[in-house]
Chains A and B, each alone.
Chain A
């Protein structure tokens, strides 16, 4: 079955999957924290859109609730929380340095190919139309991890972490019509709590090392040698 045989809504899900992968790449290349959080919010909105489309196509009304939840939490509340945190810590003008942007992007592309290779056996044994997107969701998870290991700012780490969660959620939507409602509500609440806890944690890190640059955490002594 190729894309020309699908109906427009299924095509739209695949299109949104592509755009979600694009936002992951944009986050990888973005060195300004405010814009990073903004792209994260866009990813949340796209995810909510894809979920709502899936709810319509697969006729699973409970996915509408998931879509609404992820729009509210990942598209609005958590980005706003992070945005306020960045402003309160005075980080909104700070640039995180990305050491080798081109190499990072090539690495990201390699991760996409890798996740396609890994998910190929799963995709070939199913008839679910949206399952092609499972490679994309795996890629979003891996790109979130790449974002976390390539950055020094703690805020960027949190955004990477949340984007990993986005990838897992998307995988659940396209492969198993979403998780059970209880699990989904629990995860959504966890993510919200995590955002708040991370906020407290930022202030702790800054109080102890006077910066959010986590590279400084690897030094054991206070004195430079």
Chain B
């Protein structure tokens, strides 16, 4: 029974990811006074791409063909063990948040290899930029995760959420810093403004699009879908770790229903926040990204320090 629920949750996760992308695009259009496309447009785009015949570039090796499947599988596996509507599911017990960072790294490695595999200038450029950004973003993310782990005494996401729920509302300085750091990392890792622009092809500043420029058809559909799931993964991580209220703690239909409603609400709000920041800020020069990410790292380290300095238990003599 638990396993069926876990599989259903994963299916909901990957099924709802294009919806979140559609919602984000819709809010953005509204803010920019454009006529928004339908909420279901990302599904139609994926379907259209899936039906098209993929084209294989001449110099492509097996890596180019395998990469979309590896990327998609790694992302779906990650989605399987991140608690979306309920904690204590059996899948959440399998892996902790360090595995999550590892899966992201696996997906990224294959995407980067595929970008370099075809030997075009754009692919190599995008790959090198992606790796530069990842090598700076990953330490910041791990530090934010360790800050959480120090408070909750676990790196398992489900247990950490249980801990936050059990202690109730506590104003922790370390969580505020970790939240800030994780949000900055999320923006960088999912390729949003100000680090990368998701809405553009063929621009000299692009990162993600430069790597997947040669992909077409169902391979492109898989990669696009995976990046939509990745955006949702970061959203769910932020929403459920720092504001886990409303998530189902038992498997009764009512609490599952509340869990679905609450996570939808939280993600919708987070998407609005993301779009507001995307509208307010301009894209950075690529060489300013390291300053941005070192700030994210600083926030996470300050979170770790403030946990030790301000929150730690004191021994009375």
A-to-B contact residues, CB < 8 Å:
1-4, 8, 11-12, 14-15, 17-19, 21-22, 25, 29, 101-102, 105, 109, 112-113, 116, 123-125, 127, 132-133, 135-136
B172 touches A109 (CB 8 A): no
B contact face: mostly helix, strand, loop, or mixed: helix
A174 CB to closest chain B CB, in angstroms? 11
Please indicate the chain A residues that have their CB under 8 angstroms from the CB of B167 in the complex.
Answer: 4
Contact check: which of B171, B174, B298 meets A8 at CB < 8 Å?
Answer: B171
Q: Is B169 a contact of A21 with CB atoms below 8 Å?
A: no
- Flag if A21 contacts B298 (CB, 8 Å): no
Q: Measured between alpha carbons, how far is A97 from B79 in the docked complex, in Å?
A: 44
* Interface pair B173/A25, CB less than 8 Å apart: no
Give the interface segment out of B99-107, B124-132, B250-258, B304-312: B304-312
> Which of A8, A25, A132, A136 gathers most chain B CB within 10 Å?
A132
Question: In the complex, which residues of chain B have a beta carbon less than 8 angstroms from the beta carbon of A1?
Answer: 313-314, 316
B317 at interface, CB cutoff 8 A: yes
Q: Would you give 8 A-B contacts (Cβ < 8 Å), ordered by A?
A: A17-B310, A18-B174, A18-B176, A25-B302, A101-B294, A109-B305, A116-B308, A132-B312
Please count the residue pairs between chain A and chain B whose beta carbons lie under 8 angstroms apart in the complex.
Answer: 78
B206 close to A (CB within 8 Å): no
Q: Which residues of B contact A112 (CB under 8 A)?
A: 302, 305, 309
- When the two chains form their complex, are residues B169 and A8 in contact, meaning their CB atoms are under 8 A apart? yes
Q: Is the CB of A125 within 8 A of B301?
A: no
Interface residues of B, Cβ cutoff 8 Å to A: 167, 169-174, 176-177, 291, 294-295, 298-299, 301-302, 305-306, 308-317
Given A14-B311, A109-B298, A116-B305; 8 other pairs, CB 8 A cutoff:
A2-B311, A4-B167, A4-B170, A14-B173, A15-B171, A25-B298, A112-B309, A125-B317
Complex: chain B residue closest to A14, CB-CB: B310
Q: Which of chain B's residues have a CB closer than 8 A to the CB of A22?
A: 177, 299, 302
Taking CB atoms, residues of chain A closer than 8 Å to B301 are: 109
> Chain A contacts of B316 at CB under 8 A?
1, 127
- Chain B residues contacting A102 (CB-CB under 8 Å) are 294
List the B side residues contacting A123 at CB < 8 Å.
Answer: 314
Q: Is the CB of B172 within 8 A of A11?
A: yes
Chain B residues with CB under 8 A of A18? 173-174, 176-177, 302, 306, 310
Tell me which of B169, B170, B314 contacts A124 (CB under 8 A): B314
A125 proximity list for chain B (CB < 8 A): 317
Chain B residue at smallest Cβ distance from A28:
B298
Residues of A within 8 A of B295 (CB): 29
Cα A101 to Cα B311 with chains together (Å): 29
Residues of A within 8 A of B312 (CB): 2, 132
Whole-angstrom CA separation of A105 from B314 in the bound complex: 28
Q: Is the CB of A132 within 8 A of B172?
A: no
Is the beta-carbon distance between A21 and B317 smaller than 8 angstroms? no
Q: Which of B171, B174, B176, B311 has the most CB of A within 10 A?
A: B171
- Is A2 touching B310 in the complex (CB atoms < 8 A)? no
Bound CA–CA A3/B172 (angstroms): 8
Please report the C-alpha to C-alpha distance between residue A133 and residue B311 in the assembled complex, in whole angstroms. 10
Contact check, A133 vs B305: say whether CB atoms are below 8 A apart: no
Q: Across the two chains, which residue of chain A brings its CB closest to B290?
A: A102
CA distance A4 to B305 in the complex (A): 17
Q: Which residues of B contact A12 (CB under 8 A)?
A: 171
Q: Is the CB of A17 within 8 A of B305?
A: no
Q: Which residues of A contact B171 (CB under 8 A)?
A: 8, 11-12, 14-15
Give every chain B residue within 8 A of A29 (Cβ-Cβ): 295
Within 8 Å by CB of A3, from B170, B294, B302, B305, lies: B170
| CB-based closest 7 A-B pairs | A18-B173, A11-B171, A2-B313, A3-B311, A18-B306, A14-B310, A15-B171
- A136 CB contacts on chain B under 8 angstroms: 306, 309-310
**Most chain A CB inside 10 Å of its own CB: which residue of B172, B176, B305, B315:** B305
B301 vs chain A, min Cβ distance (A): 6
Residues of chain A lying within 8 A (CB to CB) of residue B313: 1-2
Interchain CA distance A11-B295 in the complex, whole Å = 25
- A73 CB, nearest partner CB in chain B, Å: 26
- Cα–Cα, bound, A101→B298 (Å): 12
Please tell me if the beta carbons of B310 and A132 are within 8 angstroms of each other in the complex: yes
- Contact present for A132 and B317 (CB under 8 Å): no
Nearest residue (CB) in B for A9 is B171
Contacts A3-B310, A4-B170, A123-B314 hold; do A15 and B294 have CB atoms under 8 A apart? no
Contacts of B311 in A (CB 8 A): 2-3, 14, 132
Across-interface contacts of B177 in A (CB, < 8 A):
18, 22
- Contact B173 A17, beta carbon cutoff 8 Å: yes
Alpha-carbon gap, A203 to B205, bound state (A): 44
Residue pair B172, A135 in contact (C-beta under 8 Å)? no
* Complex Cα spacing A29 to B294, Å: 11
Separation of A125 and B315 alpha carbons in the complex (Å):
9
The residue in chain B whose Cβ has the minimal distance to the Cβ of A112 is: B305
